[in-house]
Structure 1
Amino acid sequence: MTRPPRLRVDGHTFRDPQNREITLRGINVAGEAKYPKTPNVPSFVLEDFFDGDNVSFVGRPFTVEDAHTHFSRLRKWGYNTIRYLFTWEAIEHAGPGIYDQNWVAFTIEILRVAKDYGFYVFMDPHQDVWSRFSGGSGAPMWTLYAAGLNPRAFKKTEAAMVHNTYDNPALFPKMVWSTNYTRLVCQTMFTLFWAGKDFAPKAIIDGTNIQDYLQSHFIAACKYLAQRIHEAGGLENDVIIGWESMNEPHRGLVGVQDISVIPPEQQLQLGTSPTAFQAMLTGSGRACEITTWAFGNFGPYETGRELVDPEGESAWLPADYDDTRYGWRRDPEWKLGECLWAQHGVWDPTSDRLVQKDYFSKNHKTGEQLDYEKFTNTYFLDYYRKYRDAIRGVWPESIMLCQPPVMEVPPDLKGTADDDPNMVHAVHYYDGLTLLTKHWNRLYNVDVIGVLRGKYWTPAFAVKIGETAIRNCLRDQLKFLRDESLRYMGDHPMIFSEIGIPYDMDDKHAYKTGDYSSQVRAMDANHFALEGSTANGFTLWLYASQNDHEWGDQWNGEDYPFIPLKITPYQVGLIEILDKISDLSLILNHPHIPKVKAVKKNK
């Protein structure tokens, strides 16, 4: 007889084989998955950075030997769930269709260790702003070459802000990497990935449009990993509960109404903030005067203007580039040495004149007007179905964790053919003010979700004064997202697969003084919000084994560590305290012990 799965979806809850309701209490493992082990290239290192084909992620997030230390620690602290990060680059870095067999085998070993400690694990194909080579993580370098882009030219054209190539990595502006979503490279790559057939029909490679080329390779790589895990045996249902669709998908330019202005929904502006058309111009070597922004206690504010002059350098591959490197064949209609969007008539490179400012505002085949909601319910869902069917083709019982675009209205699936009873809604939420200012403001905060959903006549009414009001505001935002999920997605569990706080607040004040009161207050407010949200669980961002006080998580200056491997005296004391209380945590969470309510009653 086949054993029942350790975790199953039952309506909007999770249940175990004894039919008890389960809440997922977890953490993301681990930050090191974003960059290679060999050579070791965290985001502040330039050496070997551009040799993106010859890398290995074997040893990420940590060695098999160290895995016991990390998983036992997390289990003792009461966590029962791991969101397991891996990247497309880790699987297929050497070129299209060339899979890293050693990394796949290594990953299976790590998952077996996680099984020893009784975790629920779901697999997260992680990306941030497309790729390491565009300032984030995720896709292999060859995908940029496939799109006709030149990673070595991103710095001078500001087509992407990349920590590795920044003149002084120690001065890389905090959180400026996230504005890469609205720069040329990321806007182009995501537009091609979701909607290349509609907006870039000339982009044909190996006889297929770049949209299908990129999507098919990404999905095939994930399916290959799923297949190898399936063949290994003893992991599906026992430790792996499911697969997430893609970390933080972004629409690119799909639905942008006018590329000559900053869209009103583009709230995050830091450093130089070009319009999409300005990004196309500088990406083609033209000089532009671009507005600059900073982020203060009341959000983004304009600081001036700056001349960005690439001095003729282009972010696009030159016309004489040897395009045989990866063995593909590019259609003759797709010319190297020229902006892809100029080739589609968006702008005229002979006069630098914008021709079609609304080019991305509608579907050119149907004439249908597009916005973020339309994008989510069409282009994103088309991808999600392909990904879902590929994973389910290997493992039909897999729980699918659908993660739509962050902070946007989820797809309207309730009562449709996509209202899958074995689906979970995965949501991300960060307290934006704390995230961007790296400061826990006890005086005021903002109901960001309320503003985004049009709850207030003016944003001024969204300001919440006092720490109690702030905590309640965070809780109410998470509860709104949970209710919205039931309204749009249907009767499914919802988890916050990312939520967390920066630890390097107030110019790393705690590291200098040992006073972590701001971090404690911020984390407590987040957990208060989670408890009041009625969601079915969470996985904190982030567990990082290679964190230090100089470079944080070793990636873009972020510092979200739970506990690093190399620990400070303060953290030694924290670990000792947690270890002492961990036995109680294990007792309370043991499947054969009455639940917490009964224990509290005895107390």
Structure 2
Amino acid sequence: MQQLMFDIDGPRFVDAQGRHAILRGVNLGGDTKLPFGHDGRNPPRDFADHRDVSFVGRPFPLDQADEHLSRIKSWGFNVLRLLTTWEAVEHAGQGQYDEAYLDYLTAVCTKANDYGLAVFIDFHQDVWSRMSGGDGAPGWVFEAVGLNLAAFDAADAVHVMQQRYDYASSEHRQEDRYPMMSWPRNYQMPVNGVMWTAFFAGATLTPDWIVDGRNVQDFLQETYLGAMRAVAERLSDLPNVLGFDSLNEPALGWVGQKVSERRDGPDASNATPIWSGPLWTPLDCLKAARGLPVRLPVMKRTGIGKPEVIGETDLNPNGVSIWLNDGPDPFEVAGAWSLVDGVATVGDEDFFRIRDGRAIDHEHDFMAPFFARVAASIRSVRADWLLFGEMCPYLMIQGKTFPQPMPERTVNASHWYDVEILGTKRYDPDTPGNDRSQRYAFQLGFIRAMGLAMREGGAPTLIGEFGIPYDMNDGEAFERWAEGDHGADVWRAHSQALGAMYDTMDQLLLSSTQWNYSATNANDLRIGDGWNQEDLSIYSPDQTTSENDPASGSRALEGFSRPYVQRGQGVIASMAFDARSLRLTAVIEVDEAVAGVTEIFVPNWRYPDGVAVALSGVPADWIHDTVSQIVRVKASGAGSLKIELTAG
């Protein structure tokens, strides 16, 4: 078994030669959340085919792999956060792994190895499943725990684009039916509340909820990890596969909430934001799930402040139950509430908050054993794999960090977005950016500190997701492109926003995987990355120009394809890039015991006339390989080496 392409040493990534490495990559890709053949144009609505779908061809057909991977490599990336889903692996039924898909995924990873691209596997989810408004778990899981997925929409228990959006309409933005960026509201709704609470807290809160001879929590986690092991066993011999993400953006369910208290925003007991739309309590969810009509206040967010109540709405007016055979409801059985003569009564207001006289701590009580379980599962296949750990992203708002102890060889793979840009899809490139830069430094600095505090000696941080929407400012860039304006100025807002993010990550020496690269993206406000009107792909076939154009297919190339130190002959002490002067400065603390030279990615398209490199400190020489787009600097002594790279 070959040594991993990259490993960790305290708070740093290192390569096989012991060089400090910066991993800079991309998520591949957003459309991988959907079965092959499904997209944003008019996807199937009733999910009746959920056992018969195929994800072979996601993120792209194999005969396109060279095209996409060579492009990703040429833009300067050296790592992929490669998406898969539980559904992709096990959609047909429990234990029925899709062997054709596993063959395909192995072939994609093997191709990535041919291009020198490291990979870590992300078992992705958003709001639990496609059937509950996102992606992740297969449909049969709902049936296994006693839920009728065919009733979800009729009971108003989910908010799903396939069922709420009018695809026959010419209107691409339908704010009255499916508002922009509205999919996260599912976290507050009945199906997500049931599933996430069961996944993490079933053994604690509903000990008598038995599925397939086990408590529901054990059933869900063991089955999920079984799918992960099926992938792991196929990839164990590949040196570029570094390990696995624990689970994308795990949610809290109802843990920490009072049963009937209506929150108006994140608080000390529950960090989940309040989104525009109906405002649910756990009791409202349990009632609607049981088949009772509910009347809820409707919230609307104006600006970046708290949402305000703008009215009321009646949901599940026809009294549709989402429990198979009308129950029983395991939470009612466990005493959270009761339904007597049609009247719902709270049984224990603190059911989701306090157990045996002690406040439930989601991270310590549920996430810590889950992290340990994931680590043990993947390392039963390959002992040196890294665990890329994620906690609920909203907990960081409260200043919370990873539970202790974390498994050895864990990477802090937390996510970070400029929430204002992401939520409003607006950015003005002419607005001074000092406040934004300071905010980025503070927020990303906190995330980096989470990694440093993860264990003695620190752990590396890799920002697992960050990025910008390309349909921002009402799709202005798409309109200009369609009119024939294909210059870099079309993407000025996007490039500036991305550049500020990379500036901060350079300052903090953070590794990262940008969200995302979708091979099927379209310049269409309805389609985008093919999923829930999101459009954050740095690539689109609609941006294809000519074969010899290095920018062909790219969006905002100036924002993300930039020089940086990929590997240092020792420790990378500092790094900064000034896009206006094309000046990269870096300091390497050279260690003579480290084999190999410092390698700097230098994109040819930025430096068409070559580069000039000034070296000071320890004696060193440099060469520029324009084929690989790498400047190599070899120092001949230990100490500080300052590198200043400019246009030739």
If the length of structure 1 is used for normalisation, what is the TM-score? 0.85
More divergent stretch after superposition (394-403 vs 517-526): 517-526
Deviations 1:256-296 (A, max 9, x none): 24442225333331122222222222233323222222333
Which residue number in structure 1 is paired with residue 330 of structure 2? 340
Which residue number in structure 2 is paired with residue 472 of structure 1? 438
Cα distance in structure 2, aligned partners of 1:443 and 1:357: 51
Aligned pairs, number: 549
More divergent stretch after superposition (511-520 vs 544-553): 511-520
Runs of at least 5 residues in structure 1 that lack an aligned partner in the other structure: 320-335, 445-465
Q: Name the aligned partner's letter for residue 359 of structure 1.
A: F
Which residue number in structure 2 is paired with residue 483 of structure 1? 449
Q: Name the aligned partner's letter for residue 58 of structure 2.
A: R
Deviations 1:328-385 (A, max 9, x none): xxxxxxxx4343322322222221222222110023xx43202xxx211220111111
Question: 1:42 offset after TM fit, Å?
Answer: 4.8
Cα distance in structure 1, aligned partners of 2:460 and 2:533: 33
Cα distance in structure 1, aligned partners of 2:537 and 2:133: 20
Q: Name the aligned partner's letter for residue 605 of structure 2.
A: I
Which residue number in structure 1 is paired with residue 499 of structure 2? 524
Change (3 A) 1:3 1:223: closer
Deviations 1:369-423 (A, max 9, x none): 02xxx2112201111111110110100011111112214222243xx4x451x22
CA contact (8 A) 1:295 1:437 kept: no
CA contact (8 A) 1:253 1:360 kept: yes
The alignment yields a C-alpha RMSD, in angstroms, of 2.7
- Computing the radius of gyration from Cα coordinates, the structure with the larger value is 2
Question: 1:159 offset after TM fit, Å?
Answer: 1.2
Which residue number in structure 2 is paired with residue 561 of structure 1? 537
Deviations 1:143-165 (A, max 9, x none): 11122222222223221111111
CA contact (8 A) 2:193 2:285 kept: no
Deviations 1:431-455 (A, max 9, x none): 11111111125799xxxxxxxxxxx
More helix by share: 1
Which residue number in structure 2 is paired with residue 447 of structure 1? none
Change (3 A) 1:146 1:227: same
User: Which of 514, 523, 526 matches 1:549?
Assistant: 523
SS in 1 for 2:197: helix
CA contact (8 A) 2:243 2:387 kept: yes
Q: Name the aligned partner's letter for residue 372 of structure 2.
A: R
SS in 1 for 2:453: helix
Which residue number in structure 1 is paired with residue 71 of structure 2? 73
Cα distance in structure 2, aligned partners of 1:4 and 1:206: 39
CA contact (8 A) 1:270 1:300 kept: no
Matches within 5 A, 1:76-225: 76-169=74-167, 170=172, 171=174, 172-225=178-231
Deviations 1:155-197 (A, max 9, x none): 2322111111114254221111012112111111011011111
Runs of at least 5 residues in structure 2 that lack an aligned partner in the other structure: 482-489, 562-602, 611-623, 636-640
Question: 1:548 offset after TM fit, Å?
Answer: 1.1
Matches within 5 A, 1:89-488: 89-169=87-167, 170=172, 171=174, 172-230=178-236, 233=237, 235=238, 238-262=239-263, 264=267, 265-319=271-325, 336-350=326-340, 351-363=343-355, 366-370=356-360, 374-408=361-395, 409-413=400-404, 416=405, 418=406, 420=408, 422-440=409-427, 466-488=432-454
SS in 2 for 1:549: coil
Change (3 A) 1:274 1:570: farther
More divergent stretch after superposition (101-110 vs 398-407): 398-407
Which residue number in structure 2 is paired with residue 452 of structure 1? none
Which residue number in structure 1 is paired with residue 588 of structure 2? none
Change (3 A) 1:419 1:35: closer
Counting aligned pairs with the same residue, the percent is 29
Change (3 A) 1:338 1:549: farther
Question: 1:33 offset after TM fit, Å?
Answer: 1.3
Which residue number in structure 1 is paired with residue 508 of structure 2? 533
Cα distance in structure 1, aligned partners of 2:629 and 2:13: 15
Q: Name the aligned partner's letter for residue 581 of structure 1.
A: W
CA contact (8 A) 2:155 2:315 kept: yes
Question: 1:120 offset after TM fit, Å?
Answer: 0.9
Which residue number in structure 1 is paired with residue 478 of structure 2? 511
Q: Name the aligned partner's letter for residue 543 of structure 1.
A: Y
More divergent stretch after superposition (503-512 vs 84-93): 503-512
More strand by share: 2
Q: Name the aligned partner's letter for residue 68 of structure 2.
A: H
Q: Name the aligned partner's letter for residue 467 of structure 1.
A: G
User: Are residue 45 (structure 1) and residue 57 (structure 2) matched?
Assistant: no
Change (3 A) 1:569 1:174: farther
SS in 1 for 2:81: strand
Which residue number in structure 2 is paired with residue 581 of structure 1? 605
SS in 2 for 1:427: coil
SS in 2 for 1:581: coil
Change (3 A) 1:601 1:36: closer
SS in 1 for 2:313: strand
Cα distance in structure 2, aligned partners of 1:21 and 1:389: 27
Change (3 A) 1:13 1:115: same
